[in-house]
Amino acid sequence: MNKSKNKNVQKQDLSKNQQIIFDLIKKSNEPLKAYSILSNVQKKGIKAPLQVYRALDKLVEIGKIHKIESKNAFMACQNSGCQIAKATAFSICENCEKVSEIKNSKLFEYLKGFDDKSGMKYKKYNLEFFGVCNECTAK
């Protein structure tokens, strides 16, 4: 019974490795690096770097996680439904290393509509702001 389980579910199912790795990243309050992920999932049977990188690639592709390029690290998407995987913005504290995904629809709209004179059609962007966060400034 219950054959209809998941029938009309929009949310794309993740494969076993993808789910394990996504769960780990989601639980984390900081961006995780690939080899740190690896050492955390070895007890679950994921043994090789490539298994991690393949899952990461897929998760990035479907927008469940983002890569913080300046840190070679990955964090779960914080935006509703992960709809804006192709338009990412982060704030990074240079002191405590905290990274947050920026949710700002004006910024999003501005950059989405950005058009220079090159004639290039932009499909995607990634923006990383660096500074000192509130907590660190207070100290």
Partner DNA sequence: AACGTTATGTAATAATATAACATTAATTAG
Partner DNA sequence: CTAATTAATGTTATATTATTACATAACGTT
Q: Are strands 87-93 and 99-101 parallel, antiparallel or unpaired?
A: antiparallel
Which has the closest alpha carbon to 123: 139, 132, 111?
111
Residue 129 and residue 132: Cα distance in Å, rounded? 10
The single-letter DSSP state of residue 43 is G
What is the number of alpha carbons within 13 Å of residue 123 lying toward its C-beta? 0
User: Can you tell me which of 14, 34, 62, 133 binds a second copy, judged by CB under 8 A?
Assistant: 133
The partner in contact with residue 124, picked from DNA, a second copy, none with C-beta cut-offs of 5 to 8 angstroms by kind, is a second copy
User: Can you tell me which of 57, 69, 97, 109 binds a second copy, judged by CB under 8 A?
Assistant: 69
User: Can you tell me which of 26, 39, 42, 45 binds DNA, judged by CB under 7 A?
Assistant: 45
111 belongs to the binding site for DNA (CB under 7 A): no
Residues that bind a second copy (CB under 8 A): 69-70, 91, 93-94, 100, 102, 104, 107, 110-111, 114, 116, 118-134, 137
